[in-house]
Structures are given as C-alpha cells and as structure tokens.
C-alpha cells in the first residue's frame, strides 16, 4: 500500500482521522515517534527536540554554529533517559552522515527530518503526520499527500469540546498561533506554502463531512 502523509489545520480533527485511518488500513502511525528518532540520532534528549521544534524556527543556532565553537555548550544539558513508547523499530534507523555529538541546530534538524522521512517513504504501510512529509516526499509516485482542514467556527467548537474551560477568544487565539507555527515551519525548512493545494493529492474539509465518513473514503482511496 501507499505511504500516506497527513497535514492538518489545528483542531480540524486531522489527528483523530489519521489515527483511525491507520487502524482501519493497518498502517503504522508515525508522529511523535519521529521526534524520538531525531533525538536518538542527534544524541540529545527528546525534550530538546520537542523544544527546538517549538522555537518558532529561527535560524539563530544554525548561524551561531558557523561562527563559534559550540562544544562549550554540548553536554551542558542533562540527557533525558526516560524511555518513550513508540511505534517505530529498527527498520527506521538511519545512519547519519556525521556525529552531531549532542548538539542540534536548524541545519542538523532539517537534514535529519529529511533523511528520516525519506527513508520512511520507502517503507510500505506508514502514515506520516506533519513535519513536512508532503514536501519531502512530494516527488514520489506511491505517496498520497492528504490535507485536513475545517471552517474556523467548527475548529473553535471542536477545541472547546476537548477543553471546556477555553473561551471562544482563547480558542481562536490558540488556533491562530498553532496554524502560524505550522505555516512558518514549512516556509522556513522547505520554502513552501503550507496552504498551497498543489502540495496535496486530497484536501478534505471536516466541516462538510463527518470524521467517520472521511476515514471510510480515505481507506477506500488508499488501499
């Protein structure tokens, strides 16, 4: 079966659809597991990579790494040893081209994400959520790139249903913030427009079709 990438607007229902689709068609669901793999390859903590992804994609550390010796910073952070249960196995391991020695910057992060997702793109039966999979694998003929969107009022309602204490205004602000981060991520690392429909083979609006029917449609299309 094809490799599937899923890009989703925040609170559009995309995560649940991706998980349900993976279960229905017996695909490996890969999201946070990719973070763990990047951390393992870079010899940094999982929290380090998660924090790096949330920085707003400013190329400061990549710039600093070119002008000063960053060895003085390496090893200054406690390495996270807590095991995180993931869905990937030894087939996903990719030898990196140089020893990063416990440091990660924008260049290293992008190289690793591209290597890891490119290798995953050679495996059958995987669903890759986020992290530019639609950009990295866009030229492969056996990859299906899916985009999940929804109308803003429905996204606010969905988010409030999951977080009852949120006001409409706070929900709207969170959605706008998270969408902006995703858009900046794709622009920064891949020079692409996150909203460009030409990046995707299928764009589905969950405001028009319920999640269960969407999963059924996608399962039929992807098998």
pLDDT in tens, 120-138: 888 889 999 999 999 999 9
Question: Distances from the Cα of 170 to the Cαs of 11, 15, 151, 163, 177, in angstroms?
Answer: 13, 21, 17, 11, 10
Cβ neighbors of 14 (< 8 A, separation 6 or more) are 6, 7, 8, 129, 148, 206
7 vs 1, higher pLDDT: 7
pLDDT tens profile 147-163: 999 999 999 999 999 99
Positive or negative, the CA dihedral 44, 111, 67, 191 is negative
State whether 83 and 132 are in the same domain: no
Domain extent for 145: 1-27+125-223
Q: How confident is the model at residue 76 (pLDDT cuts 50, 70, 90)?
A: very low
Check pLDDT > 80 for residue 41: no
| pLDDT interval class at 165 (50, 70, 90) | very high
- Listed residues 80, 111, 142: the one ending a domain: 111
Domain identity same for 101 and 147: no
On the question of pLDDT at 3 being above 50, the answer is yes
Predicted pLDDT of residue 64: 46
Q: Is residue 40's pLDDT more than 70?
A: yes
- 113 against 60, higher pLDDT: 113
Counted domains in the chain = 2
Among 52, 85, 111, the domain boundary falls at 111
Helix (H) and strand (E) counts for the chain?
9, 5
Is 176 domain-assigned? yes
Mean pLDDT value across residues 52-79:
49
Task: Name which of 30-34, 43-47, 168-172 the model is least confident about.
Answer: 43-47
Please tell me whether residues 56 and 104 are part of one structural domain.
Answer: yes
The CATH code of the domain that includes 157 is 3.40.50.300
Strand partners for 29: 127
Q: Do 216 and 161 belong to one domain?
A: yes
Same-domain check for residues 58 and 19: no
**pLDDT recorded at residue 222:** 84
Instruction: Give dist(CA 212, CA 81) in Å, integer.
Output: 38
Higher per-residue pLDDT: 4 or 45: 4
| Residues 12, 60 within the same domain | no
pLDDT digits (tens, 9 = 90+) for 190-219: 999 999 999 999 999 999 999 999 999 999
Read off the pTM.
0.77
Q: Which residue has the tokens 């990063």?
A: 100
Do 23 and 103 lie in one domain? The reply is no
Residue 89 pLDDT > 80:
no
Count of CA atoms in the C-beta half-sphere (13 A) of 185: 20
Q: pLDDT band for 91, please (50, 70, 90 cuts).
A: very low
User: Does residue 106 share a domain with residue 150?
Assistant: no
Residues 131 and 211 in one domain: yes
Residues 138 and 208 in one domain: yes
Flag whether pLDDT at 220 surpasses 70. yes
Q: Are residues 165 and 105 in the same domain?
A: no
Yes or no: say if 88 and 30 are a contact pair by the CB < 8 Å rule.
yes
What is each CA distance from 99 to 10, 32, 68, 124, 183, in whole angstroms? 35, 23, 18, 29, 30
CA distance 9 to 6: 10
Confidence of residue 42 (pLDDT cuts 50, 70, 90): confident
pLDDT at 55: 65
Determine the Cα–Cα distance for residues 95 and 112; give it in Å rounded to an integer: 10
In terms of domains, do 129 and 223 share one? yes
Question: In the structure encoding, which two tokens stand for residue 155, read together?
Answer: 């996204």
Q: Give the mean pLDDT of 103-126.
A: 85
């Amino acid at each position: 079966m094809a490799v599937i990438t899923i890009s989703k607007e925040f609170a559009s229902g995309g995560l649940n659809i991706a998980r349900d689709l993976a279960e229905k068609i017996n695909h490996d669901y890969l999201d946070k597991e990719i973070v763990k793999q990047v951390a393992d390859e870079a010899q940094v903590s999982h929290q380090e990579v998660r924090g790096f992804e949330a920085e707003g994609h400013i190329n400061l550390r990549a710039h600093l790494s070119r002008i000063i010796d960053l060895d003085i910073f390496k090893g200054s952070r406690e390495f996270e040893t807590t095991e995180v249960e993931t869905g990937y196995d030894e087939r996903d391991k990719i030898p990196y081209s140089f020893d990063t020695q416990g440091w990660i910057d924008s260049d290293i992060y992008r190289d690793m994400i591209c290597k890891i997702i490119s290798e995953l793109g050679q495996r059958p039966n995987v669903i890759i959520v986020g992290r530019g999979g639609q950009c990295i694998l866009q030229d492969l003929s056996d990859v299906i790139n899916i985009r999940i969107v929804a109308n803003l009022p429905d996204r606010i309602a969905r988010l409030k249903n999951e977080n009852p204490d949120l006001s409409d205004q706070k929900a709207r602000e969170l959605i706008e913030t998270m969408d902006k981060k995703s858009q900046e991520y794709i622009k920064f690392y891949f020079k692409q427009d996150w909203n460009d429909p030409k990046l995707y083979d299928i764009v589905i609006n969950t405001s028009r079709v319920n999640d269960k029917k969407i999963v059924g449609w996608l399962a039929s299309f992807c098998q």
